């Protein structure tokens, strides 16, 4: 059973929070999930099952403009740190771990950098490197040449125009990705549909934040970092994971050569085990 609450933040915004804990919960390990772009923030069935099997309390929340959370104009990636700090205070959390996939990866890293006393470890699956990352072709290998992110580089108006006519590029996913969406990760397809139906402000804000200064440096992360990267990823190509490995102090890379952007999520259960082992 997952409880849902709307957390009122000091600036008046609402953050919709999902919590797998209940009155009978005995978990001693808490994991906060950062969702991809676009998603509602509701925890997906495979994540809930893996957490329950391990006695893990799984938390998630909708970033601004997603899944019932209020908009936050001009937010940057670092703003996730403040929101998560308020969430942790409200729920009485001490130390906990972070996990984020795709668009959630940079936000998980932000929390690790900005909340060092609270974050015991972070797993970043198929997560982008900062736009200013040196030594890589940031758009290289992205399906459609990273069209949505290139539009974001031109500013909000250009990104909004792109969103108005955007269509999914089927070349973004591999055969293994499509198999995952048809099977274990079918709940992801459903959740993306719900998020998209609510409007494009969340994904537009995410893309704008990804190509702007993030507001922190990954070099400041003192917690252990697990980078999980698919070798066939056409949304966030492997060069991004390699850059993060080289620039995070205590990083470990799991390169899964046959995985794409969705099938990489099959690594979530063992990534949970890795995070718990860091405590």
pLDDT of 21: 86
Residue ranges of the chain whose pLDDT lies below 50: 23-24
Exposure on the CB side of residue 76, measured as CA atoms within 13 A: 11
Nearest of 53, 54, 5, 62 to residue 33 by alpha carbon = 62
By three-state DSSP, how is residue 82 classified?
helix
- Which alpha helices (H) appear in 115-263, and where do they start and end? 147-153, 156-165, 175-182, 186-197, 201-210, 238-247
Per-residue pLDDT at 22: 63
Q: What is the pTM of this model?
A: 0.97
Using DSSP's 3-state secondary structure scheme, residue 249 falls into: coil
pLDDT at residue 1, rounded to an integer: 82
Q: Which residues contact 92 (CB under 8 A, 6 or more apart)?
A: none
99-136 burial code (b ≥16 CB/10 A, e <16): bbbbbbbbbbbbbbbbbeebbbbbbbbbbbbbbebeeb
Task: Compute the distance between CA of residue 137 and CA of residue 84 in angstroms, rounded to an integer.
Answer: 31
pLDDT at 24: 46
Q: State residue 102's pLDDT score.
A: 98
The 10 Å CB-count burial string (b at 16+, else e) for 236-266 is bbbbbbbbbbebbeebebbebeebbbbbbbb
Helices (H), the chain: 45-53, 79-91, 104-114, 147-153, 156-165, 175-182, 186-197, 201-210, 238-247, 268-277
* Residue 210, pLDDT score: 98
Domains observed in the chain: 3-277 (3.40.50.1820)
Quick one: pLDDT at residue 23?
45
pLDDT at 197 (0 to 100): 94
Query: Is residue 34 within 8 Å of 99, Cβ to Cβ?
Result: yes
């Amino acid at each position: 059973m997952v409880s849902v609450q709307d957390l009122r933040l000091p600036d008046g915004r609402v953050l919709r929070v999902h919590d797998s804990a209940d009155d009978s919960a005995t978990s001693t390990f808490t994991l906060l999930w950062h969702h991809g772009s676009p998603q509602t923030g509701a925890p997906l069935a495979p994540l809930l099952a893996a957490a329950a099997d391990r006695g893990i309390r799984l938390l998630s929340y909708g970033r601004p403009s997603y899944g019932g959370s209020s908009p936050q104009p001009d937010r940057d990636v670092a703003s996730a740190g403040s929101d998560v700090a308020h969430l942790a205070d409200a729920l009485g959390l001490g130390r906990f771990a972070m996990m984020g996939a795709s668009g959630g990866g940079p936000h998980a890293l932000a929390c690790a950098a900005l909340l060092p006393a609270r974050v015991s470890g972070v797993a970043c699956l198929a997560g982008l490197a900062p736009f200013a990352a040196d030594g890589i072709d940031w758009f290289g290998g992205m399906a459609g040449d990273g069209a949505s992110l290139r539009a974001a580089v031109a500013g909000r108006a250009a990104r909004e125009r792109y969103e108005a006519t955007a269509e999914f590029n089927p070349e973004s996913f591999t055969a293994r990705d499509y198999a995952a969406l048809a099977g274990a990760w079918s709940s992801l397809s459903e959740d993306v549909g719900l998020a998209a139906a609510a409007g494009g402000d969340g994904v537009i804000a995410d893309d704008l934040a990804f190509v702007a200064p993030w507001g922190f440096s990954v070099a400041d992360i003192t917690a252990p970092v697990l980078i999980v990267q698919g070798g066939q990823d056409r949304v966030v190509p492997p060069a991004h994971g390699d850059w993060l490995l080289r620039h995070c102090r205590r990083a470990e890379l799991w390169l899964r050569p046959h995985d794409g952007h969705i099938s990489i999520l099959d690594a979530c259960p063992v990534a949970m085990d890795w995070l718990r082992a860091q405590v």
